[in-house]
């Protein structure tokens, strides 16, 4: 019996010890979380260190579910404050997984989903977050918890602010402020008020922004909430910059830098040093600028936001420029300029890179590139300035419309105003989408019509490029292309091809006697005769002033001679009218030759031109072919030997007219 009692006592002692140790671990865990909560918004870096310590000693294991959810909520919040959205998403998802099945943890679940939304806003997913926030706000109404409602509306304001919808953002913050005042949570109220002040800076509501930011700064300072002081100081510096008070802006940034150095916040130190360096560069204090810029080098790799990266690159390029390292400035700037060509809209510092490049080219004596780059800079800067002025006017109009809406509807709460603005925003989006659809349809129609017009123009210009403008017959260019096709047919199918060259007899006399308009009528009349009497596959072209060349596919020399004789007879039977009403007729001389597949167009032309010349020498108005007997050849030789100087001059004159025609045809 005594053994049993001893065993039970020992078991009880061990169990009590384990339970006591477990309770101590839980109490320690809870105490640490309470300590984190107290410094969460004042020293987030220290809060993160405490949470990391909890992970190291594995105090998360076997802890009550509410404490674990609280742990992940604090971790996600700290990661957000320190601009680490990826870690915040991981922590938020872990907390959501734990809290989603416990109805007692609904409020924590909503806050965890809010942290997830805030992280996605930092990653540029505002539109997706806004849709989720609408659902979250609707669900949270069941809790009747104004604190949760205020937090949701606060995040909603941040999302609209990230989308540059500053009027809707302000309405969301004001609605959040109304909900927060019912909680008696002064910290929540001031967090919202400071966010509202930052939005008013964007809306150019400087007086109200100054009052809100000063009040929030005093609140956070009294409670030694350094991190919130830092955020407010940055908004106050931005306010001074927008008011044109660079001296005050520089002072605000330097005070913010002191706070960031105390906090050990590398991310904000990088950004603040850049802002200070930029202001010093504008004021001409390049020595101090270099000192502050040097502080950013070790922190550059942590930055992921394009605005600050572009400012860093711009300042480094200016530093090279100021030190006389012109080639170094060009080497730094050139790839940056190339990389930003596809960006829809550039920041001011990205545009100023063109000015830096122009100065660097000038310093190297490359005045041409300096001038061209300067022109590019001026065009981009003018566009940027115009857009910036429009943006400022639109923001002032937003604030005016917002205050007017509230003044005209005194009975409306800010939540009603928010809903009104969101409804208008959605209507604008629907209208914009409708415009896009209509524009898309119109663009499709225009593109189709343009394609048809281009095809018709292409066909028309193709025809113009291949035809003679006076007669409508083909030109030498088209004849050459068709000859290549016919020669390939000759090689493959042994299909014979013949060539005819004809010249209107005494055509110069027609022009000199009756005038060029009458001469043009003669040429168009002969061209019309060809169109009406040649076969479908025959190719007829005008190759000189009064010269025409024909390619006759599937024709032997004897057939080509018959065709030439028929055409010669029909031409001589044509009747033309002078401007005085007198009738006259013309004749034509022909040369006919068989085409060899190895001949070029120039070779063929040279051969058939000799035959045409022989026809001229033998009395004109006749056909001469390459198939005639040697006696004819001797006759040709005798004729050539006996030709007079006037005949030679006539031949030279015809050659000059032919050359003149080809030049005119080429340049047309």
Residue 572's pLDDT is 94
Q: Which of 192-196, 225-229, 408-412 has the lowest mean pLDDT?
A: 408-412
pLDDT tens profile 350-393? 999 999 999 999 999 999 999 999 999 999 888 888 887 777 77
Catalytic residue among 151, 546, 547, 607: 546
Q: Which of 126-135, 191-200, 251-260, 405-414 has the lowest mean pLDDT?
A: 405-414
Residue 519's pLDDT is 93
Mean pLDDT score, 318-334: 92
* 54 in Cβ contact with 31 (< 8 Å): no
pLDDT tens profile 29-45? 788 888 888 887 777 88
Residue 109's pLDDT is 86
pLDDT of 409 higher than 70: no
Count of beta carbons in the 10 Å neighbourhood of residue 130 = 22
Residue 215's pLDDT is 92
Helices (DSSP H) in 284-347: which residue ranges?
286-294, 306-322, 326-339
User: Between 442 and 86, whose confidence is greater?
Assistant: 86
User: Between 415 and 667, whose confidence is greater?
Assistant: 415
Within 13 Å of residue 506, how many CA atoms lie on the same side as its CB? Answer: 12
- 565-587 per-residue burial string, b: 16 or more CB within 10 A, e: under 16: eebbeebeebebeeeeeeeeebe
* 253 in Cβ contact with 272 (< 8 Å): yes
H or E stretch covering 501: strand 497-504
pLDDT tens profile 384-397? 888 877 777 777 77
Residue 2's pLDDT is 62
Q: Which two tokens stand for residue 239?
A: 């306010």
Residue 631's pLDDT is 42
Residue 19's pLDDT is 44
Residue 78's pLDDT is 87
H or E stretch covering 192: helix 186-202
Mean pLDDT score, 145-158: 87
- Percentage of the chain modeled with pLDDT above 70: 82
Which of the four CATH numbers 2.60.40.60, 3.30.70.270, 3.40.50.300, 3.40.50.720 does domain 476-667 have? 3.30.70.270
Residue 16's pLDDT is 46
- 376-400 per-residue burial string, b: 16 or more CB within 10 A, e: under 16: bbeebbeebeeeeeeeeeebeebbe
Q: What is the DSSP string of 528-562?
A: HHHHHHS-TT-EEEE-SSSEEEEEEET--HHHHHH
Residue 133's pLDDT is 84
Residue 619's pLDDT is 92
Within 13 Å of residue 233, how many CA atoms lie on the same side as its CB? Answer: 23
Residue 664's pLDDT is 47
Q: What is the DSSP letter of 7?
A: H
Q: Which of 54-68, 537-551, 651-665 has the lowest mean pLDDT?
A: 651-665
* 387 in Cβ contact with 137 (< 8 Å): no
Per the prediction, the chain carries an average pLDDT of: 82
User: Between 610 and 123, whose confidence is greater?
Assistant: 610
Helices (DSSP H) in 409-536: which residue ranges?
414-466, 476-493, 507-514, 516-533
* Comma-separated ranges of CATH 3.30.70.270 domains in the chain: 476-667
Task: Categorize the per-residue pLDDT at 247 as very low, low, confident or very high, splitting at 50, 70 and 90.
Answer: very high
The question of whether 546 is a catalytic residue gets the answer yes
Residue 571's pLDDT is 94
Please provide the CATH number assigned to the domain covering 185-304.
Answer: 1.25.40.10
* 79 in Cβ contact with 298 (< 8 Å): no
pLDDT tens profile 607-666? 999 999 999 999 999 999 987 654 444 444 444 444 444 444 455 555 555 555 454 444
User: Between 616 and 265, whose confidence is greater?
Assistant: 616
User: Between 232 and 412, whose confidence is greater?
Assistant: 232
- Separation between Cα atoms, residue 432 and residue 434, nearest integer Å: 5
* Comma-separated ranges of CATH 1.25.40.10 domains in the chain: 185-304
- Separation between Cα atoms, residue 527 and residue 540, nearest integer Å: 9
- Separation between Cα atoms, residue 92 and residue 95, nearest integer Å: 5
Q: Which of 99-103, 318-322, 324-328 has the lowest mean pLDDT?
A: 99-103
User: Between 193 and 431, whose confidence is greater?
Assistant: 193
Mean pLDDT score, 571-600: 92
pLDDT of 14 higher than 80: no
User: Between 549 and 42, whose confidence is greater?
Assistant: 549
Residue 641's pLDDT is 47
Task: Categorize the per-residue pLDDT at 539 as very low, low, confident or very high, splitting at 50, 70 and 90.
Answer: very high
Q: CA 471, 562, 593: angle at the middle one, nearest 5?
A: 75
Q: What is the DSSP string of 36-89?
A: HHHHTTT-HHHHHHHHHHHHHTTTTTT--HHHHHHHHHHHHHHHHHTT-HHHHH
């Amino acid at each position: 019996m005594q053994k049993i009692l001893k065993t039970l006592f020992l078991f009880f002692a061990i169990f009590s010890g384990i339970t006591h140790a477990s309770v101590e671990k839980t109490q320690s865990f809870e105490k640490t979380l309470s300590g984190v909560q107290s410094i969460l918004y004042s020293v987030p870096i220290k809060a993160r260190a405490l949470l990391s310590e909890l992970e190291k000693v594995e105090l998360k294991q076997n802890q009550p579910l509410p404490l674990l959810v609280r742990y992940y909520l604090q971790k996600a919040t700290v990661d957000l404050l320190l601009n680490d959205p990826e870690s915040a998403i991981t922590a938020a998802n872990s907390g959501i997984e734990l809290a989603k099945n416990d109805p007692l943890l609904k409020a924590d679940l909503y806050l965890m989903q809010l942290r997830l939304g805030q992280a996605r806003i930092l990653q540029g997913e505002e539109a997706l977050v806004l849709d989720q926030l609408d659902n979250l706000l609707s669900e949270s109404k069941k809790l009747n918890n104004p604190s949760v409602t205020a937090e949701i509306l606060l995040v909603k304001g941040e999302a609209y602010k990230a989308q540059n919808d500053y009027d809707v953002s302000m309405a969301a913050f004001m609605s959040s402020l109304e909900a927060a005042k019912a909680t008696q949570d002064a910290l929540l109220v001031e967090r919202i008020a400071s966010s509202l002040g930052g939005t008013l800076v964007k809306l150019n509501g400087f007086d109200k922004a100054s009052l809100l930011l000063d009040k929030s700064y005093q609140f956070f300072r009294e409670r030694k909430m350094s991190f919130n002081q830092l955020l407010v100081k940055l908004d106050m510096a931005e306010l001074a910059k927008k008011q044109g008070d660079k001296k005050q802006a520089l002072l605000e940034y330097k005070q913010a830098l002191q706070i960031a150095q105390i906090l050990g916040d590398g991310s904000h130190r990088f950004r603040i040093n850049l802002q200070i360096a930029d202001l010093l560069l504008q004021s001409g204090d390049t020595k101090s600028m270099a000192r502050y810029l040097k502080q950013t080098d070790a922190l550059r790799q942590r930055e992921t936001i394009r605005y600050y990266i572009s400012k860093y690159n711009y300042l480094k390029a200016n530093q090279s420029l100021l030190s006389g390292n012109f080639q170094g400035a060009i080497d730094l700037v050139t790839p940056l300029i190339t990389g930003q060509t596809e960006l829809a809209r550039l920041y001011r510092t990205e545009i100023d890179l063109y000015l830096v490049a122009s100065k660097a080219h000038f310093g190297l004596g490359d005045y041409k590139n300096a001038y061209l780059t300067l022109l590019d800079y001026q065009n981009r800067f003018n566009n940027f300035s115009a857009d910036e002025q429009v943006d400022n006017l639109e923001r002032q109009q937003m604030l005016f419309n917002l205050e007017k809406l509230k003044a005209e509807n005194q009975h409306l709460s800010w939540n009603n105003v928010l809903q009104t603005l969101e409804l208008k925003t959605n209507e604008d989006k629907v209208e914009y989408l409708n415009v896009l659809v209509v524009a898309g349809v119109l663009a499709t129609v225009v593109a189709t019509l343009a394609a048809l017009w281009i095809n018709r123009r292409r066909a028309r210009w193709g025809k113009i490029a291949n035809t003679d403008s006076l007669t409508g017959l083909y030109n030498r260019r088209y004849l050459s292309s068709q000859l290549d096709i016919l020669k390939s047919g000759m090689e493959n199918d042994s299909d014979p091809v013949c060539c005819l060259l004809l010249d209107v007899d005494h055509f110069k006399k027609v022009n000199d006697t009756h005038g060029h308009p009458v001469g043009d009528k003669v040429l168009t009349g002969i061209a019309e005769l060809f169109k009406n009497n040649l076969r479908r596959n025959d190719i007829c072209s005008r190759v000189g002033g009064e010269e025409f060349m024909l390619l006759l596919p599937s024709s032997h020399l004897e057939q080509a001679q018959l065709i030439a004789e028929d055409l010669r007879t029909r031409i001589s039977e044509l009747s033309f009218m002078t401007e005085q009403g007198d009738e006259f007729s013309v004749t034509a001389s022909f040369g006919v030759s068989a085409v060899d597949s190895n001949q070029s167009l120039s070779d063929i032309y040279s051969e058939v031109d000799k035959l045409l010349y022989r026809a001229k020498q033998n009395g004109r108005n006749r056909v001469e072919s390459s198939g005639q007997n040697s006696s004819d050849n001797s006759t040709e030789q005798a004729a050539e030997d006996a030709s007079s100087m006037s005949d030679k001059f006539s031949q030279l004159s015809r050659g000059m007219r032919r050359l003149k025609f080809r030049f005119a045809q080429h340049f047309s």
